Amino acid sequence: MKSASNVDNTTLISKISYSFELLKMRLKPNNSNSQIIPWNDIDEYEYLIKKYYPEAANNGLFQQKVLEIGYGARPWRLICLMSLGIDAWGVDLDKPVYGFNFFRLLGVLRNNGIERFSKSFIRGLFFDIHDLKKIKKELLIHGKQLKIDKSRLKVGNAADEEHFEANSFSFAFSEDVFEHIP
């Protein structure tokens, strides 16, 4: 299955314009002071588990096996969940890139092509190092260390049964995926 993050019928001008808008949004002054750990998402997951899975109400999110479908090229949400001690796993069509790592970038070029490589290279060079430092700092405030378990970052189609055992997750979510599916 082809990654939906690379849509062939989108014009180069549209892609450049969209990238410029993302850059402007990223460079807004108030963005640098915001928290990077998705606390609102985590609170929402906790609420949903308690509401729809009453047997887990006493244990909450931290006692569940969690699946993120579509963690993205920069799997910050999934990495934060892992680092907070949640048994979190993920699957995405694109190979993840976090930080500016030459070998991971070469893997992106091989697996996902030049367009994804270019995006990942620029983000890694200009933003990922800063983002990872922010994540580490925020985790330390909560007495946690950054934890990236690469074996939990599956690459492939979420519909393929090869990635996970059937019925092995008590909570699954997908945040930033469906808007990319044609």
Mean pLDDT by 10 residues, the chain (182 residues): 55 69 65 73 92 79 92 90 96 85 87 85 86 93 94 91 89 84 68
Q: Residues 97, 74: contact at Cβ < 8 Å?
A: yes
State the Cα–Cα distance between residues 5 and 15, nearest whole angstrom: 11
Q: Tell me, what's the pLDDT at 62? A: 87
Q: Parallel, antiparallel, or unpaired: how do β-strands 153-155 and 65-69 relate?
A: unpaired
Residue 53 neighbours by CB under 8 Å, 6+ apart: 64, 170, 171
Q: Tell me, what's the pLDDT at 8? A: 55
State the Cα–Cα distance between residues 26 and 68, nearest whole angstrom: 24
Residue 120 neighbours by CB under 8 Å, 6+ apart: 73, 97, 105, 108
Virtual CA dihedral for 163, 48, 50, 64, nearest 10 degrees? 20
8-state DSSP, 96: P
Q: Tell me, what's the pLDDT at 161? A: 86
Q: Tell me, what's the pLDDT at 95? A: 83
Q: Tell me, what's the pLDDT at 120? A: 86
**CB contact burial 48-58 (16+ within 10 A = b; e otherwise):** ebeeeeeebee
Main-chain phi, psi angles of 67, to 5 degrees: -125, 125
